Amino acid sequence: MNYQIELRHFIYFLAVAEELHYRKAAEKLFISQPGLSTQIKQMEEILQTQLFVRDKKKVRLTPAGEFLKKEVEFILNHLDQTKKQLKLIGQGHMGEVRIGFLGSAMQNVVPNLLVGLKEKYPLVHTTLEELSNRAQVNAILSDRLDLGFVRMSRVPKGLEVKPVFEDTFSLVLPQGHPINMNNFNSIDQLANEDFILFSQDYSPEYYDTVLSICEDSGFVPKVSHKSVHAQTIFKLVENKLGIAIVPTTLQHGFQMDVKFIEMKRIKQRAVLSMVWKADNRNPALKNCMDLLLKL
């Protein structure tokens, strides 16, 4: 007596509304005619509204039925769209990946990822935010980011890391500096220079790595300036306020007048890693990471 409308009713109703003929509609639905009759009748009872007029062998829609037909068409169509989209989202072919990164990841890793994503999963959107290592880790832990690009090897419990790009280090010297590609041999030739480094709290592990390069050559560098942005560091070097050690790929993409000397022989590498939450269920993230590892 106290039933609820179900999608089944709508599908049956639409068939009758289209055919205006119970037997034909029942055939189309692969059910029996009496079953269809009772379901439509039940539907009219539930909605407390007559939907069809059956007089003298003819089945017609009432104005209410006419109205409902349009609405049902809309609803079923919308539902179809929703199902398709839902599947795409479930497969990670649609959705959003929230990405954090250190400025230096913008040199090649992040742009390559975005291009690849756009090509393979055009319906996956990204939001991008430049953040320090620590800020990225915190954002990922509290579910405000899906993926981070950092320079660190150990991460808090619940997160995972994986290296995605390894780079050599390069010395950055002002144009007039006596050391050049030909007479450069080891970093200890520059033991007495002022050093300009990336800020320690922005990327502690990276900072330590750079220091270790000097330590391996037997000296502790004099650090005169610290900065967050590569652009700033290059400007300082250009103005002869010190020398710097940076990942080699930073050579490209900046407007500057300095010398780059790549130090291939030292063992240290500038490693960029991706970080994510182990239990992140965003399927788009999985696809995003898989893509990244293939690039």
Residue 31 and residue 227: Cα distance in Å, rounded?
74
Name which position in 27, 47, 59, 75 contacts DNA (CB under 7 A).
Answer: 59
68 touches, from DNA, a copy of itself, none (C-beta below 5 to 8 Å by class): a copy of itself
* Closer Cβ to DNA, 30 or 63, answer by number: 30
Strand partners, 277: 159
Distance of closest approach, residue 60 Cβ to a copy of itself, in angstroms: 8
Q: Which listed range, 132-140, 160-168, 208-216, 279-287, lies at the site for a copy of itself (CB under 8 A)?
A: 279-287
Angle separating helix axes 33-47 and 7-19, nearest 10 degrees: 110
Q: Which residues of 183-196 are buried (b: 16+ CB within 10 A; e: fewer)?
A: ebeebeebeebbbb
Distance of closest approach, residue 42 Cβ to a copy of itself, in angstroms: 14
* Four-residue CA torsion sign, 195, 197, 199, 204: negative
Residue 170 and residue 262: Cα distance in Å, rounded?
4
Q: In what order do the strands lie in the sheet with 94-101?
A: 123-130, 94-101, 147-150, 270-277, 159-167
95 touches, from a copy of itself, DNA, none (C-beta below 5 to 8 Å by class): a copy of itself
CA atoms within 13 A on the CB side of 253: 13
Angle at 136 between CA 132 and CA 137, to 5 degrees: 120
Contact flags string 14-43 toward DNA, x per CB under 7 A: -------xxx------xxxxxx-xxxxxx-
31 touches, from a copy of itself, DNA, none (C-beta below 5 to 8 Å by class): DNA
Residue 266 and residue 264: Cα distance in Å, rounded?
6
3 touches, from DNA, a copy of itself, none (C-beta below 5 to 8 Å by class): DNA
**Are the C-beta atoms of 237 and 112 separated by less than 8 Å?**
no
Q: Which listed range, 131-139, 156-164, 184-192, 275-283, lies at the site for a copy of itself (CB under 8 A)?
A: 275-283
Q: Which listed range, 25-33, 99-107, 153-161, 281-289, lies at the site for a copy of itself (CB under 8 A)?
A: 281-289
Q: How many residues form the binding site for a copy of itself (CB under 8 A)? A: 36
27 touches, from DNA, a copy of itself, none (C-beta below 5 to 8 Å by class): none
Name which position in 18, 45, 54, 254 contacts DNA (CB under 7 A).
Answer: 54
Distance of closest approach, residue 180 Cβ to a copy of itself, in angstroms: 54
Residue 295 touches a copy of itself, criterion: CB under 8 A: no
Give the position of tokens 């900072």: 207
Distance of closest approach, residue 100 Cβ to a copy of itself, in angstroms: 18
Which pairing describes strands 243-247 and 194-198: parallel, antiparallel, or unpaired?
A: parallel
Residues that bind DNA (CB under 7 A): 3, 8, 21-23, 30-35, 37-42, 54, 56-59
